[in-house]
Amino acid sequence: MADSESQQPNVILALTDDQGPWAAGCYGNDEIRTPNIDRLAATGVRFDRFFVATPVCSPSRATFLTGRIPSQHGIHEWISKGNIGPGATRYLADEVASTDIMAQHGYTCGISGKWHMGDSLHAQHSFDFWYVHQEGGGPYNNAPMVRDGEPITEPGYVTDVITDEALGFIDRHCDRQPFYLSVHYTAPHSPWTGHPQDIVDSYDDCPFDSCPQEPRHPWAEEQTERCLGNREMLKGYFAAVTAMDNNLGRIIDRVEELGLREDTLFVFASDNGFSCGHHGFWGKGNGTYPRNMYENSIRVPLVFSQPGTVTQGAVESGMFSAYDFAPTLLDYLGLPLPAGRNLPGSSFAAALHGKPVSGREMVAIYDEYGPARMIRTEEWKYVHRYPDGPHDLFDLVNDPDERANLASDPAYTQRAWDLKAQMDEWFDRYVEADTDGLQHHRDPNAPAGEDQVFPKQ
């Protein structure tokens, strides 16, 4: 925790889009080049088992920002409407974000990159600097962005431009600390074309052993048809990651040149995981229908680095969730949690200093995605899909790759119901009736404008 009598640290959060931990060198992939993510890991703490609260972008980002699950903050799916135009909607208007708390305690807050939580034209949640994507993603060149409240078409490679704007914010505020900066890359989200050709070509001879192109999953969505077994798509995904990593290096370098490295907390994470052929599909939670909760979809990279304050070169193996993120960041900064928000998470800031995190001896991780809810313990994962399945039960000790679904095996019926009872009890504590995911899930196969309501059973 920061010393309240001294200068508060600056905070830079680099958040990527669709990056599993397998897609980084420091997590054991020797095929993909990520020297700057690795650089942060070498100077900080790398988390081996960090999970998002929802395996898709918009609700996951809302949880990072607020510390609340989708059935509290109300975003359950990636946002297709309400980003710009006359129907623009502020989906988090009634929430309290960590940036609101930071701004109340002297931080100047800025964002460069992806917002994708509604009303992109207008700054929200105490961001003084607001340079965001109009939607949630799209072409990497000539991207639709928002500058000074106006929609523009931004020339250049968007990963570079997001970084340019972030560097400008740092330069303007380096003498007026503390500052908070969100650098939200659209990379490595599709499309996997339009990336710097020299980086794409550098993967020509890559065997891509880290991305086995398995037989097509029976639930795989349309994206898998285009990408499974396609080396050009693999090269594009890897190039998007490496180009992003190069830009992350530009930010670290600038902070070091300004003499602010030990005064700045860097955090690197992604909004959801991703599979590039693993389990026979391309995508994350919505890469299949029914939706999946595979480890590759729910587990993401997370690194904290502040030399001189955060333990250097450490690996934390405990299980933590995105709903723990906001409590941890505020605790690290010595700032209060927002009052009356019934936050489901708790701080793991002690782990950043090499200390045990108390109260997490029997921890379980909980996820939701509309009608699908999950509990993951050290040994088991159970996924319940309302109203009538199919359900999943995986023995993570003997089947860490989640190949043998035991949900229909009579020998494991009691195990499944015990896990479901524990899961139900947890969700009952935190779900709010007006934003319950079982009541407000949009079925992609339903007629336009219709919601599906899934009775709890």
Quickly list DSSP for 367-411. Answer: EEETTEEEEE-SSEEEEEETTT---EEEETTT-TT-----TT-GG
Domain presence at residue 361: no
pLDDT at 2 over 60: no
Domain presence at residue 445: no
Last residue of a domain, one of 298, 320, 353: 353
Residues 229 and 335 in one domain: yes
Residues 323 and 423 in one domain: no
Bridge partners (DSSP) listed for residue 113: 132, 184
Residues 386 and 430 in one domain: yes
* Amino acid occupying residue 313: G
| Among 279, 450, 291, CA closest to 373 | 291
Domain presence at residue 449: no
| Among 300, 330, 346, CA closest to 52 | 300
What six digits make up the tokens of 413? Answer: 């019926």
* Amino acid occupying residue 133: H
CATH number, domain containing residue 83: 3.40.720.10
Domain presence at residue 450: no
Residue 427's pLDDT is 98
Residues 346 and 388 in one domain: no
> Any idea which of 108-122, 148-162, 436-450 has the lowest mean pLDDT?
436-450
Q: Is 342 left (phi over 0), alpha (psi -120 to 50) or beta?
A: left
What's the mean pLDDT when you consider all of the chain? 94
Q: How far apart are CA 50 and CA 272, in angstroms?
A: 10
pLDDT at 452 over 90: no
Band of pLDDT at residue 176, cut at 50, 70 and 90: confident
Residues 249 and 382 in one domain: no
What six digits make up the tokens of 229? Answer: 């077994």
From the CB of residue 234, how many other CB atoms can be counted at a distance below 10 Å? Answer: 22
Residue 69's pLDDT is 98
Residue 450's pLDDT is 42
CATH number, domain containing residue 377: 3.30.1120.10
Domain presence at residue 446: no
Residues 73 and 153 in one domain: yes
For 73, the domain range is 10-353
Total domains in the fold of the chain: 2
Domain presence at residue 441: no
- Cβ distance 139 to 154 under 8 Å? no
Residues 295 and 405 in one domain: no
Domain presence at residue 113: yes
Residues 303 and 395 in one domain: no
Residues 233 and 101 in one domain: yes
Domain presence at residue 264: yes
Mean pLDDT over 201-208 rounds to 98
Strands 372-376 and 127-133: unpaired
pLDDT tens profile 278-328: 999 999 999 999 999 999 999 999 999 999 999 999 999 999 999 999 999
Last residue of a domain, one of 299, 324, 353: 353
pLDDT tens profile 332-367: 999 999 999 999 999 999 999 999 998 877 799 999
Residues 144 and 223 in one domain: yes
Residues 307 and 414 in one domain: no
Residue 441's pLDDT is 61
What is the reported pTM?
0.95
Residues 229 and 308 in one domain: yes
